[in-house]
C-alpha cells in the first residue's frame, strides 16, 4: 500500500530497538538494535529499499532513555522561563546522567511551582537530522514517546482532582513520578538494577516514597498495532499497557 507522501512517517527511536509505520497504512516494522546509530541506519536502509514508499517528513518519538524528565524546583531562584531554562541546562547532567551536551525542553513556567524539563542528548539530535537528511526527509517534530500516556495521566488527575503515583517501564529504563491535581510534583528516570529485572522492587520502593496517593498507575511500553482513532496512541505502531492499576 503506497502512503500519502504528505503524511509523516512515525518513528519510535531508542538505542535498543526501532519501530516505524503509519496509522491505517502498511504494517509497522520493528527491529532490535545494538545502539542509536544502528537504529537510525535501519530506518535509512528501509527508506533506500524498493519496498519503501515516498516519504518527505517524519515524526520522531524518543524512548525514555533518550528523553529523560526532571523537575526544576520551585525554590530554584528562577524569576522567569528564560532563567528556569538556564537552571534546567545546568541541572540536566546530574539530574539525568546523560553525558555530553544536552538539549532541554521546558514545560510552562509558573512562579512558585516546580517546572518539568526534559533532556535529550545533543548527539542524538544531530545524528537523527543528519541521517534522515541524506534521504531528504524533514523531521517535523521530536517528542518523548511517553508524553502520550503521560498527558492522559495529567488529564485524569486534573479531571478527578486526585493524586496519582505512576511508573512507566520503557526498554531498560523506567519513568516515574507523582501528579497532584494536574500538577507534576515528581518526575524522574531510573534503570532497575540487574537484581531487579522486572523492576518490581523499584516500583514498591517508589510507591512507599510517594506517601498517600488516590491511585497508582504502573504502565509498560509494548510493541503493538493500535487504532489511529485513539489520541493517546495516535502514532499507531506502539502503545502502552497497564500492568497494574489501583
DSSP string, 123-134: HHHHHHHHHHHT
Same domain for 87 and 167, yes or no, is no
Mean pLDDT of 197-213: 90
Q: Distance between CA atoms of 199 and 72, rounded to whole angstroms? A: 26
Which pLDDT does position 221 carry in this prediction?
A: 84
Q: Distance between CA atoms of 56 and 92, rounded to whole angstroms? A: 33
Same domain for 137 and 202, yes or no, is no
- Rg of the chain's alpha carbons, rounded to an integer? 18
Condensed to tens digits (0 to 9), the pLDDT of residues 64-82 reads 989 999 999 999 999 999 9
Condensed to tens digits (0 to 9), the pLDDT of residues 149-167 reads 888 899 999 998 899 999 9
Condensed to tens digits (0 to 9), the pLDDT of residues 99-110 reads 889 999 999 899
The share of the chain scoring above pLDDT 70, in percent, equals 86
Of 68, 134, 81, 130, the residue nearest 109 (C-alpha)? 81
**Whole domain around residue 189: which residue ranges?**
147-245
Residue 155 lies in a domain: yes
- State the total domains in the chain: 3
Residue 4 lies in a domain: no
Residue 2 lies in a domain: no
Same domain for 218 and 113, yes or no, is no
pTM comes to 0.85
- Distances, alpha carbon 213 to alpha carbons 2, 103, 116, 190, 209, in Å: 48, 33, 20, 21, 10
Amino acid at each position: 500500500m503506497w502512503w500519502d507522501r504528505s503524511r509523516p512517517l512515525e518513528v519510535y527511536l531508542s538505542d535498543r530497538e526501532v519501530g516505524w509505520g503509519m496509522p491505517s497504512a502498511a504494517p509497522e516494522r520493528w527491529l532490535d538494535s545494538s545502539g542509536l546509530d544502528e537504529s537510525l541506519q535501519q530506518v535509512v536502509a528501509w527508506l533506500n529499499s524498493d519496498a519503501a514508499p515516498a516519504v518527505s517528513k517524519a515524526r520522531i518519538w524518543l524512548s525514555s532513555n533518550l528523553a529523560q524528565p526532571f523537575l526544576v524546583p520551585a525554590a530554584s531562584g528562577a524569576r522567569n522561563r528564560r532563567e528556569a531554562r538556564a537552571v534546567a541546562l545546568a541541572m540536566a547532567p546530574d539530574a539525568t546522567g546523560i553525558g555530553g551536551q544536552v538539549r532541554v525542553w521546558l514545560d510552562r513556567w509558573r512562579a512558585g511551582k516546580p517546572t518539568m524539563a526534559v533532556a535529550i542528548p545533543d548527539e542524538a539530535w544531530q545524528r537523527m537530522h543528519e541521517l534522515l537528511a541524506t534521504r531528504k526527509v524533514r523531521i517535523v517534530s521530536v517528542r518523548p514517546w511517553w508524553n502520550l500516556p503521560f498527558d492522559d495521566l495529567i488529564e485524569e488527575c486534573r479531571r478527578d482532582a486526585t493524586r496519582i503515583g505512576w511508573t512507566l517501564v520503557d526498554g531498560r529504563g523506567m519513568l516515574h513520578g507523582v501528579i497532584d491535581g494536574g500538577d507534576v510534583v515528581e518526575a524522574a528516570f531510573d534503570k532497575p538494577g540487574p537484581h531487579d529485572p522486572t523492576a518490581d522492587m523499584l516500583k514498591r520502593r517508589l510507591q512507599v516514597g510517594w506517601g498517600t496517593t488516590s491511585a497508582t498507575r504502573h504502565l509498560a511500553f509494548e510493541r503493538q498495532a493500535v487504532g489511529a482513532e485513539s489520541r493517546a496512541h495516535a502514532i499507531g505502531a506502539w502503545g502502552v499497557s497497564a500492568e497494574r492499576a489501583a
